[in-house]
Amino acid sequence: MNAFCPEPSCAFPARHGSEIERARRAARLIVGQIPSGVSTEPTEAEWAKLGHGLLKGDPQADQLVAWMQATGMRAAWAQVNQAIEAGVAAVPDASVALRAFFEHVERRPDWVQEPLLIHGAKVCGLGGRAGMRALAVAGLMAGYQLAAVNQTLLATGALEKGAARRIAETTKWWIDVTEPGAMAPGDDGFKSTLRVRIIHALVRHHVSQQPTWDEADLGVPVNQTDMQATYLGFSTVYLLGMKLVGIPLRREDKAAVMHLWRYIAWLNGVEEGLLHDLADGERSGMAWLFKNLLSQRMADADSARLAQALANEPLHRHYPRWGWLMGRFNRSMHLSLARLCMGNETLRDLGLPVWTLPWYPLWMMVFNQALHRVARLSPGGKAWLMKRGRAQQRDYLPVLFGEQAPALRDVGAVKAGVH
């Protein structure tokens, strides 16, 4: 029971709303971005939706995984990959589960507008490397505050695998889905998202079978409520991150980014009832994110271990020169962004220093505002900024992956027996 659902009949997992006041303090930066007049307190119906979401996985992907398990993973993956690469029509003996899943994802919802998907992808490129750094800190590192969400990640061997590979694979997927036109069936963003969705379902199946998983406390692994928090991190928090590093965006730019991520989230299995409102993009997303955070359990010792591993991840990149110096310089940039994004309580909870100065975002704010103002005075200036930013993002993949080809391998399912 809690303030939003006082009746004993609210049989949600124990984590739901278990630390509301602590969550409010941690979410102050989000609250500050929500315009006055926009409701931030969840209604009883919204609170119940978040609570029930903790108990719901992704039925279509879960049914596909059940078929894969029954068929045998090697043979099933061959058919799944064939359907991902060429469409389910290219699989002549497709099972009912395989056909149902792919016929659903290959049929776009009526609300999707291709021009907005392309515009949103271009705006994501506008952030360049600075935008990606802001996302890594404001989205991923700050996201480690969500202690219950981390339990699925830890159950798949996240600490053993290491932050370097995790951030590389996440960055590769993010670049795939934010390439203009890449969310069309058969293109890289569409295919990468389907692979991530299926692996999430495999992780859900594997982790839920572990005797240490407590569903009454945590809910279902990779559940709807946690998937909502993740997609809002990639959309609303990315917009906030670009603001923190001084990249000016118009209302139509933000709306396009939110439209793109609404479709990515839908394709990744988030139910439409947990997606932000189409007509009120960023504001609706920010309000939903705040309500979601109220539902979450806040940072614990595992959160601190994950956050510190991510803070140190720049030390393990594959820089072409001056590796020792560049690693420490990039780590300093991460910590300075964390100082701006998080309050003292959150930094201490995550085991991060509170004395770091926010030098990097302040420097980038001045630099980016000057660069964008000058460039946008010139014909084609905004297009040049988008091209420049996207090139920075693509060119950084070798630094993250080293000699390995940039690719999604198992997206966290190290112990799930996927391959």
Asked whether the whole model's pTM tops 0.85, one would answer: yes
What distances in angstroms separate CA 255 from CA 105, 130, 211, 408, one per listed residue?
23, 21, 44, 28
pLDDT in tens, 7-54: 544 689 999 999 999 999 998 888 878 877 777 889 999 999 999 999
Mark residue 188 as left, alpha or beta (left: phi above 0; alpha: psi -120 to 50; beta: remaining).
Answer: alpha
Give me the helix-helix angle, 188-208 and 147-155, nearest 10°: 90
Is the pLDDT at 417 greater than 70? The verdict is no
Per-residue pLDDT of 170-226, as tens digits, reads 999 999 999 999 999 999 999 999 999 999 999 999 999 999 999 999 999 999 999
Q: Where are the alpha helices (DSSP H) in 279-322?
A: 281-295, 301-312
Q: For the chain, give every domain's residue range.
A: 59-401
CA 101 to chain CA centroid, nearest Å: 22
